[in-house]
A and B are shown apart, each in its own frame.
Chain A
Amino acid sequence: MKISRRQMLILLPAAAVAWESVMAGTPEDAPNYKLTDHWWGMLIDISKCIGCGNCVRACQTENDVPDGFFRTWVERYHVSDEDMTRPEVISPDGGKEGFPVASEDGRKYFFVPKLCNHCADSPCTQVCPVGATFISPDGVVLVDQTYCLGCAYCVQACPYGCRYIHPEKKVADKCTLCYHRITKGLTTACCEACPTGARQLADLKNPNDPIHEFLKTHSVQVLKPQMATGAKAFYNDLDGSVR
Protein backbone atom coordinates (compact mmCIF):
# COMPACT_ATOMS: atom_id res chain seq x y z
CA MET A 1 0.00 0.00 0.00
CA LYS A 2 1.31 3.45 -0.93
CA ILE A 3 0.41 6.40 1.28
CA SER A 4 0.75 9.92 -0.08
CA ARG A 5 2.14 12.76 2.03
CA ARG A 6 -1.37 14.26 2.32
CA GLN A 7 -2.85 10.96 3.57
CA MET A 8 0.01 10.56 6.03
CA LEU A 9 -0.62 14.02 7.49
CA ILE A 10 -4.24 13.05 8.13
CA LEU A 11 -3.50 9.55 9.37
CA LEU A 12 -0.85 10.43 11.97
CA PRO A 13 -2.98 12.69 14.18
CA ALA A 14 -5.91 10.26 13.84
CA ALA A 15 -3.69 7.43 15.05
CA ALA A 16 -2.48 9.61 17.92
CA VAL A 17 -6.05 10.32 19.04
CA ALA A 18 -6.95 6.61 18.84
CA TRP A 19 -3.82 5.64 20.79
CA GLU A 20 -4.64 8.15 23.51
CA SER A 21 -8.11 6.74 24.06
CA VAL A 22 -6.62 3.23 24.28
CA MET A 23 -4.05 4.29 26.85
CA ALA A 24 -6.52 6.22 28.97
CA GLY A 25 -8.46 3.02 29.71
CA THR A 26 -11.95 2.93 31.14
CA PRO A 27 -11.60 3.05 34.90
CA GLU A 28 -14.78 2.40 36.79
CA ASP A 29 -14.56 4.07 40.14
CA ALA A 30 -15.95 2.01 42.98
CA PRO A 31 -18.28 4.33 44.85
CA ASN A 32 -17.63 4.89 48.55
CA TYR A 33 -14.29 3.14 48.37
CA LYS A 34 -11.28 5.15 49.51
CA LEU A 35 -7.88 3.71 48.60
CA THR A 36 -6.24 5.30 51.61
CA ASP A 37 -8.70 3.85 54.13
CA HIS A 38 -7.59 0.22 53.75
CA TRP A 39 -4.53 -1.96 54.12
CA TRP A 40 -5.44 -5.47 53.09
CA GLY A 41 -4.03 -8.79 54.24
CA MET A 42 -5.22 -12.27 55.05
CA LEU A 43 -5.35 -14.47 58.09
CA ILE A 44 -4.92 -18.22 57.60
CA ASP A 45 -5.65 -20.57 60.47
CA ILE A 46 -3.79 -23.83 59.83
CA SER A 47 -5.63 -25.58 62.66
CA LYS A 48 -8.94 -25.05 60.85
CA CYS A 49 -7.95 -26.12 57.32
CA ILE A 50 -9.40 -29.49 56.30
CA GLY A 51 -7.88 -29.58 52.80
CA CYS A 52 -11.21 -29.69 50.94
CA GLY A 53 -9.90 -27.52 48.08
CA ASN A 54 -12.96 -25.23 48.08
CA CYS A 55 -10.73 -22.15 48.03
CA VAL A 56 -8.76 -23.37 45.00
CA ARG A 57 -11.91 -24.13 43.02
CA ALA A 58 -13.59 -20.87 44.04
CA CYS A 59 -10.50 -18.90 42.97
CA GLN A 60 -10.38 -20.61 39.59
CA THR A 61 -14.07 -19.89 39.01
CA GLU A 62 -13.97 -16.29 40.18
CA ASN A 63 -10.79 -15.31 38.35
CA ASP A 64 -10.81 -17.60 35.29
CA VAL A 65 -7.50 -19.12 36.33
CA PRO A 66 -6.34 -21.50 33.57
CA ASP A 67 -6.06 -25.22 34.33
CA GLY A 68 -2.77 -26.22 35.87
CA PHE A 69 -2.06 -22.71 37.18
CA PHE A 70 -2.91 -21.46 40.65
CA ARG A 71 -3.42 -18.14 42.35
CA THR A 72 -4.02 -20.08 45.55
CA TRP A 73 -3.30 -23.70 46.33
CA VAL A 74 -3.24 -26.03 49.32
CA GLU A 75 -0.25 -28.13 50.40
CA ARG A 76 -0.39 -31.13 52.71
CA TYR A 77 2.59 -31.57 55.01
CA HIS A 78 3.56 -34.90 56.52
CA VAL A 79 6.30 -34.41 59.07
CA SER A 80 8.25 -36.97 61.04
CA ASP A 81 9.30 -35.99 64.54
CA GLU A 82 12.91 -37.06 63.93
CA ASP A 83 13.48 -34.99 60.81
CA MET A 84 11.28 -31.93 60.58
CA THR A 85 13.56 -30.24 58.07
CA ARG A 86 12.49 -32.69 55.37
CA PRO A 87 8.70 -32.81 55.33
CA GLU A 88 6.80 -34.75 52.70
CA VAL A 89 4.71 -32.17 50.87
CA ILE A 90 1.99 -32.98 48.35
CA SER A 91 -0.40 -30.74 46.46
CA PRO A 92 -2.20 -32.82 43.79
CA ASP A 93 -3.54 -30.35 41.20
CA GLY A 94 -3.11 -27.62 43.81
CA GLY A 95 -5.43 -29.52 46.16
CA LYS A 96 -8.31 -28.55 43.90
CA GLU A 97 -10.12 -31.87 44.32
CA GLY A 98 -8.98 -32.50 47.86
CA PHE A 99 -6.35 -34.95 49.04
CA PRO A 100 -6.00 -38.73 49.18
CA VAL A 101 -7.15 -40.24 52.48
CA ALA A 102 -4.29 -40.44 54.95
CA SER A 103 -3.97 -43.17 57.54
CA GLU A 104 -2.60 -42.66 61.02
CA ASP A 105 1.13 -43.46 61.19
CA GLY A 106 2.22 -41.50 64.22
CA ARG A 107 3.55 -38.64 62.15
CA LYS A 108 2.17 -35.14 61.96
CA TYR A 109 -0.15 -34.03 59.17
CA PHE A 110 -1.49 -30.58 58.39
CA PHE A 111 -2.63 -28.45 55.46
CA VAL A 112 -1.14 -25.12 54.40
CA PRO A 113 -3.18 -22.94 52.05
CA LYS A 114 -0.94 -20.63 50.07
CA LEU A 115 -1.54 -17.48 48.08
CA CYS A 116 0.16 -14.19 47.30
CA ASN A 117 1.36 -12.70 50.58
CA HIS A 118 0.68 -9.15 49.34
CA CYS A 119 4.03 -8.09 50.77
CA ALA A 120 4.43 -4.52 51.91
CA ASP A 121 8.03 -4.62 50.62
CA SER A 122 7.46 -7.00 47.76
CA PRO A 123 10.46 -8.25 45.76
CA CYS A 124 8.25 -8.84 42.70
CA THR A 125 7.20 -5.22 42.21
CA GLN A 126 10.76 -3.98 42.67
CA VAL A 127 12.12 -5.93 39.70
CA CYS A 128 9.48 -4.93 37.13
CA PRO A 129 11.30 -2.99 34.41
CA VAL A 130 8.22 -1.18 33.09
CA GLY A 131 6.06 -0.45 36.12
CA ALA A 132 3.42 -3.03 35.23
CA THR A 133 3.20 -4.52 38.71
CA PHE A 134 2.79 -2.44 41.80
CA ILE A 135 1.52 -2.23 45.36
CA SER A 136 -1.75 -0.34 45.33
CA PRO A 137 -2.27 2.40 47.94
CA ASP A 138 -4.47 -0.06 49.86
CA GLY A 139 -1.74 -2.69 50.06
CA VAL A 140 -2.62 -5.15 47.29
CA VAL A 141 0.03 -6.34 44.83
CA LEU A 142 -1.52 -6.05 41.38
CA VAL A 143 -0.51 -6.54 37.74
CA ASP A 144 -1.45 -4.08 35.01
CA GLN A 145 -1.90 -6.69 32.29
CA THR A 146 -2.20 -4.14 29.50
CA TYR A 147 1.25 -2.82 30.43
CA CYS A 148 3.07 -6.08 31.25
CA LEU A 149 5.64 -7.32 28.73
CA GLY A 150 5.69 -10.89 30.05
CA CYS A 151 9.42 -10.87 30.82
CA ALA A 152 8.75 -12.98 33.94
CA TYR A 153 11.33 -11.23 36.14
CA CYS A 154 8.62 -10.97 38.79
CA VAL A 155 7.86 -14.69 38.52
CA GLN A 156 11.48 -15.40 39.42
CA ALA A 157 11.60 -12.72 42.10
CA CYS A 158 8.63 -13.93 44.15
CA PRO A 159 10.06 -16.02 47.01
CA TYR A 160 6.70 -17.72 47.50
CA GLY A 161 6.13 -18.92 43.93
CA CYS A 162 2.85 -17.05 43.67
CA ARG A 163 3.16 -15.74 40.11
CA TYR A 164 2.93 -17.36 36.71
CA ILE A 165 2.83 -16.33 33.08
CA HIS A 166 -0.71 -16.68 31.80
CA PRO A 167 -0.58 -19.28 29.00
CA GLU A 168 -2.91 -17.34 26.68
CA LYS A 169 -2.37 -13.70 27.62
CA LYS A 170 1.43 -14.23 27.91
CA VAL A 171 1.60 -11.74 30.76
CA ALA A 172 2.19 -12.10 34.49
CA ASP A 173 -0.83 -13.22 36.47
CA LYS A 174 -1.36 -13.61 40.19
CA CYS A 175 -3.75 -13.34 43.12
CA THR A 176 -5.40 -9.91 43.21
CA LEU A 177 -6.85 -10.60 46.66
CA CYS A 178 -10.10 -10.45 44.66
CA TYR A 179 -9.57 -6.71 44.30
CA HIS A 180 -12.80 -6.47 42.27
CA ARG A 181 -14.66 -7.91 45.28
CA ILE A 182 -13.01 -6.28 48.27
CA THR A 183 -13.47 -2.82 46.73
CA LYS A 184 -17.21 -3.57 46.58
CA GLY A 185 -17.42 -4.61 50.22
CA LEU A 186 -17.39 -8.35 49.54
CA THR A 187 -14.82 -10.80 50.87
CA THR A 188 -12.51 -12.74 48.56
CA ALA A 189 -13.85 -15.79 46.67
CA CYS A 190 -11.58 -18.15 48.65
CA CYS A 191 -12.75 -16.75 52.00
CA GLU A 192 -16.38 -16.86 50.84
CA ALA A 193 -16.05 -20.53 49.87
CA CYS A 194 -13.98 -21.70 52.86
CA PRO A 195 -16.34 -23.88 54.94
CA THR A 196 -14.36 -23.73 58.19
CA GLY A 197 -13.29 -20.09 58.32
CA ALA A 198 -9.64 -21.06 57.94
CA ARG A 199 -9.15 -18.06 55.67
CA GLN A 200 -10.18 -14.56 56.71
CA LEU A 201 -9.75 -11.36 54.77
CA ALA A 202 -8.22 -8.70 57.02
CA ASP A 203 -8.17 -4.94 56.77
CA LEU A 204 -5.30 -3.78 58.93
CA LYS A 205 -6.34 -0.12 58.74
CA ASN A 206 -9.81 -0.87 60.10
CA PRO A 207 -9.57 -0.57 63.90
CA ASN A 208 -12.70 -2.75 64.29
CA ASP A 209 -11.33 -5.64 62.24
CA PRO A 210 -11.03 -8.78 64.42
CA ILE A 211 -7.52 -9.28 62.98
CA HIS A 212 -6.04 -6.91 65.57
CA GLU A 213 -7.38 -8.91 68.51
CA PHE A 214 -6.32 -12.13 66.81
CA LEU A 215 -2.74 -10.99 66.17
CA LYS A 216 -2.48 -9.85 69.77
CA THR A 217 -3.68 -13.10 71.31
CA HIS A 218 -2.27 -15.80 68.99
CA SER A 219 1.13 -17.06 67.87
CA VAL A 220 0.99 -15.78 64.33
CA GLN A 221 3.76 -16.03 61.75
CA VAL A 222 4.40 -15.09 58.16
CA LEU A 223 6.16 -17.27 55.60
CA LYS A 224 9.92 -16.70 55.12
CA PRO A 225 10.17 -13.85 57.64
CA GLN A 226 13.95 -13.84 57.13
CA MET A 227 13.37 -12.34 53.68
CA ALA A 228 11.85 -9.20 55.21
CA THR A 229 9.17 -8.98 52.55
CA GLY A 230 6.57 -7.49 54.88
CA ALA A 231 4.25 -10.39 54.04
CA LYS A 232 0.60 -9.82 54.97
CA ALA A 233 -0.63 -13.41 54.82
CA PHE A 234 -0.63 -14.21 58.53
CA TYR A 235 -0.52 -17.87 59.52
CA ASN A 236 -1.84 -19.09 62.85
CA ASP A 237 -0.41 -22.37 64.17
CA LEU A 238 2.28 -22.47 61.49
CA ASP A 239 4.65 -25.40 61.89
CA GLY A 240 8.40 -24.81 61.74
CA SER A 241 8.74 -27.28 58.88
CA VAL A 242 6.75 -25.12 56.45
CA ARG A 243 8.90 -23.62 53.77
Chain B
Amino acid sequence: MSVFKDAGHLFRFAGLFVLAFLVFLVVRHYVVPKSFGQYGHYRGAAIGEIAARPVKFAGHETCETCHSDVADKKKIGKHAHVNCEACHGALASHANADDPTAVMPVLPDPAVLCARCHTASAAKPKGFPQVDPANHYPGSPCKTCHHPHNPGIDAGGAK
Protein backbone atom coordinates (compact mmCIF):
# COMPACT_ATOMS: atom_id res chain seq x y z
CA MET B 1 0.00 0.00 0.00
CA SER B 2 3.02 2.19 -0.37
CA VAL B 3 1.60 3.75 -3.52
CA PHE B 4 -1.23 5.41 -1.53
CA LYS B 5 0.95 6.19 1.51
CA ASP B 6 1.14 9.92 1.01
CA ALA B 7 -1.90 10.30 -1.27
CA GLY B 8 -4.52 11.22 1.36
CA HIS B 9 -4.70 14.83 0.21
CA LEU B 10 -5.42 13.65 -3.36
CA PHE B 11 -8.33 11.48 -2.18
CA ARG B 12 -9.75 14.39 -0.22
CA PHE B 13 -9.44 16.56 -3.29
CA ALA B 14 -11.07 13.89 -5.50
CA GLY B 15 -13.83 13.58 -2.91
CA LEU B 16 -14.43 17.29 -3.19
CA PHE B 17 -14.85 16.93 -6.97
CA VAL B 18 -17.30 14.05 -6.58
CA LEU B 19 -19.28 16.06 -4.04
CA ALA B 20 -19.35 19.11 -6.32
CA PHE B 21 -20.55 16.91 -9.20
CA LEU B 22 -23.33 15.48 -7.05
CA VAL B 23 -24.38 18.99 -6.01
CA PHE B 24 -24.37 19.95 -9.70
CA LEU B 25 -26.62 16.97 -10.55
CA VAL B 26 -29.06 17.84 -7.75
CA VAL B 27 -29.20 21.52 -8.70
CA ARG B 28 -29.57 20.62 -12.38
CA HIS B 29 -32.45 18.30 -11.57
CA TYR B 30 -34.38 21.13 -9.96
CA VAL B 31 -33.36 23.99 -12.24
CA VAL B 32 -33.86 22.41 -15.68
CA PRO B 33 -37.59 22.26 -16.46
CA LYS B 34 -39.10 18.79 -16.82
CA SER B 35 -40.06 19.15 -20.47
CA PHE B 36 -36.77 20.70 -21.59
CA GLY B 37 -35.46 18.67 -24.52
CA GLN B 38 -38.77 16.91 -25.19
CA TYR B 39 -38.77 18.10 -28.83
CA GLY B 40 -35.47 19.98 -29.01
CA HIS B 41 -33.32 22.44 -27.13
CA TYR B 42 -36.29 24.20 -25.53
CA ARG B 43 -39.07 23.67 -23.00
CA GLY B 44 -41.63 21.37 -24.63
CA ALA B 45 -44.42 22.54 -22.32
CA ALA B 46 -44.10 26.04 -23.82
CA ILE B 47 -45.91 24.81 -26.95
CA GLY B 48 -48.98 23.87 -24.90
CA GLU B 49 -48.87 27.11 -22.96
CA ILE B 50 -48.77 29.23 -26.13
CA ALA B 51 -51.58 27.15 -27.65
CA ALA B 52 -53.70 27.76 -24.54
CA ARG B 53 -53.86 31.55 -24.95
CA PRO B 54 -57.42 32.89 -25.30
CA VAL B 55 -59.01 33.47 -28.69
CA LYS B 56 -60.58 36.87 -29.42
CA PHE B 57 -61.78 36.50 -33.01
CA ALA B 58 -64.40 33.75 -33.00
CA GLY B 59 -64.09 32.95 -36.72
CA HIS B 60 -66.85 33.22 -39.32
CA GLU B 61 -67.90 29.56 -38.96
CA THR B 62 -68.85 30.28 -35.34
CA CYS B 63 -70.88 33.37 -36.35
CA GLU B 64 -72.69 31.43 -39.06
CA THR B 65 -74.00 28.77 -36.68
CA CYS B 66 -76.48 31.36 -35.31
CA HIS B 67 -76.57 34.07 -37.98
CA SER B 68 -77.25 31.78 -40.94
CA ASP B 69 -79.76 34.30 -42.37
CA VAL B 70 -77.02 36.91 -42.75
CA ALA B 71 -74.56 34.30 -44.03
CA ASP B 72 -77.06 33.26 -46.76
CA LYS B 73 -77.55 36.87 -47.80
CA LYS B 74 -73.83 37.59 -47.80
CA LYS B 75 -72.71 34.59 -49.80
CA ILE B 76 -74.60 35.64 -52.96
CA GLY B 77 -73.13 39.15 -52.98
CA LYS B 78 -69.78 40.76 -53.59
CA HIS B 79 -68.85 40.64 -49.92
CA ALA B 80 -69.07 36.84 -49.83
CA HIS B 81 -65.40 36.45 -49.00
CA VAL B 82 -65.36 39.25 -46.37
CA ASN B 83 -65.49 37.57 -42.98
CA CYS B 84 -67.93 38.83 -40.34
CA GLU B 85 -65.27 40.05 -37.94
CA ALA B 86 -63.43 41.99 -40.65
CA CYS B 87 -66.11 44.66 -40.14
CA HIS B 88 -67.78 43.78 -36.83
CA GLY B 89 -64.52 43.37 -34.90
CA ALA B 90 -63.35 40.60 -32.57
CA LEU B 91 -66.41 38.94 -31.05
CA ALA B 92 -65.35 35.72 -29.35
CA SER B 93 -66.58 37.33 -26.12
CA HIS B 94 -70.06 37.43 -27.67
CA ALA B 95 -69.95 34.17 -29.62
CA ASN B 96 -68.45 31.99 -26.88
CA ALA B 97 -70.48 33.47 -24.00
CA ASP B 98 -72.97 31.26 -22.18
CA ASP B 99 -75.56 33.91 -22.94
CA PRO B 100 -74.51 35.72 -26.16
CA THR B 101 -77.14 38.43 -25.62
CA ALA B 102 -75.31 39.51 -22.48
CA VAL B 103 -72.33 40.69 -24.55
CA MET B 104 -73.83 42.60 -27.45
CA PRO B 105 -71.60 43.75 -30.27
CA VAL B 106 -71.58 47.44 -31.19
CA LEU B 107 -72.83 48.15 -34.71
CA PRO B 108 -69.87 49.52 -36.68
CA ASP B 109 -70.08 53.00 -38.19
CA PRO B 110 -70.44 52.43 -41.96
CA ALA B 111 -69.07 55.90 -42.75
CA VAL B 112 -65.66 54.91 -41.38
CA LEU B 113 -65.89 51.27 -42.30
CA CYS B 114 -66.80 51.52 -45.99
CA ALA B 115 -64.32 54.35 -46.56
CA ARG B 116 -61.46 52.37 -45.09
CA CYS B 117 -61.51 49.91 -47.97
CA HIS B 118 -63.33 51.78 -50.74
CA THR B 119 -61.83 55.30 -50.71
CA ALA B 120 -60.20 55.77 -54.11
CA SER B 121 -56.41 55.81 -54.11
CA ALA B 122 -53.90 55.29 -56.91
CA ALA B 123 -52.07 52.87 -54.62
CA LYS B 124 -54.90 50.33 -54.57
CA PRO B 125 -55.01 47.50 -57.09
CA LYS B 126 -56.84 48.44 -60.28
CA GLY B 127 -60.19 46.67 -60.46
CA PHE B 128 -60.87 46.98 -56.77
CA PRO B 129 -64.13 48.98 -56.41
CA GLN B 130 -63.20 52.48 -55.23
CA VAL B 131 -65.02 55.79 -54.95
CA ASP B 132 -64.06 59.36 -54.06
CA PRO B 133 -66.30 60.04 -51.02
CA ALA B 134 -66.34 63.79 -51.89
CA ASN B 135 -67.90 63.14 -55.30
CA HIS B 136 -69.85 59.93 -54.81
CA TYR B 137 -73.19 61.15 -53.35
CA PRO B 138 -71.58 63.14 -50.55
CA GLY B 139 -73.74 63.47 -47.46
CA SER B 140 -75.78 60.33 -47.96
CA PRO B 141 -74.78 57.27 -45.97
CA CYS B 142 -73.43 54.34 -48.02
CA LYS B 143 -76.27 52.07 -46.93
CA THR B 144 -78.87 54.28 -48.63
CA CYS B 145 -77.98 52.38 -51.80
CA HIS B 146 -75.62 49.58 -50.74
CA HIS B 147 -76.51 47.01 -48.12
CA PRO B 148 -73.23 46.11 -46.36
CA HIS B 149 -73.96 42.36 -46.50
CA ASN B 150 -74.73 42.45 -50.22
CA PRO B 151 -73.54 45.79 -51.58
CA GLY B 152 -74.72 45.49 -55.21
CA ILE B 153 -77.11 48.33 -56.21
CA ASP B 154 -79.81 45.93 -57.47
CA ALA B 155 -79.59 44.03 -54.17
CA GLY B 156 -81.08 47.18 -52.61
CA GLY B 157 -80.04 49.39 -49.77
CA ALA B 158 -82.29 50.91 -47.15
CA LYS B 159 -84.24 53.07 -49.63
User: Which residues of A line the B interface, CB within 8 A?
Assistant: 16, 19-20, 23-30, 33, 35, 47-54, 58, 61-62, 76, 78, 98-99, 101-105, 109-111, 131-137, 142, 144, 146-147, 176, 179-181, 183-184, 186-187, 189, 192-197
Contacts and interface: CB of A to CB of B under 8 A. Distances in A.
Contacts of B117: 50, 52, 195
Contact of B30 (A16, A105, A111, A180): A16
Contacts of A186: 55, 57, 59
Q: Name the prevailing secondary structure of the A interface residues.
A: loop
Contacts of B116: 52-54, 98
B55 A105 contact: no
B39 to A, nearest CB: 6
A15 to B, nearest CB: 9
Nearest to B27: A16
A16 B45 CA distance: 19
A97 B30 CA distance: 48
Nearest to B32: A23
9 contacts: A20-B30, A27-B35, A27-B49, A50-B117, A133-B42, A135-B40, A184-B55, A192-B86, A194-B83
B123 A109 contact: yes
B138 interface: no
Given A184-B55, A194-B86, 17 more contacts: A27-B47, A27-B52, A61-B56, A101-B120, A102-B123, A110-B125, A111-B123, A142-B47, A142-B50, A144-B46, A144-B50, A147-B33, A147-B43, A180-B51, A186-B57, A186-B59, A189-B90
Contacts of A146: 43, 46, 49
A134 B40 CA distance: 8
Nearest to B127: A47
Interface string B107-126: 00000000011011111110
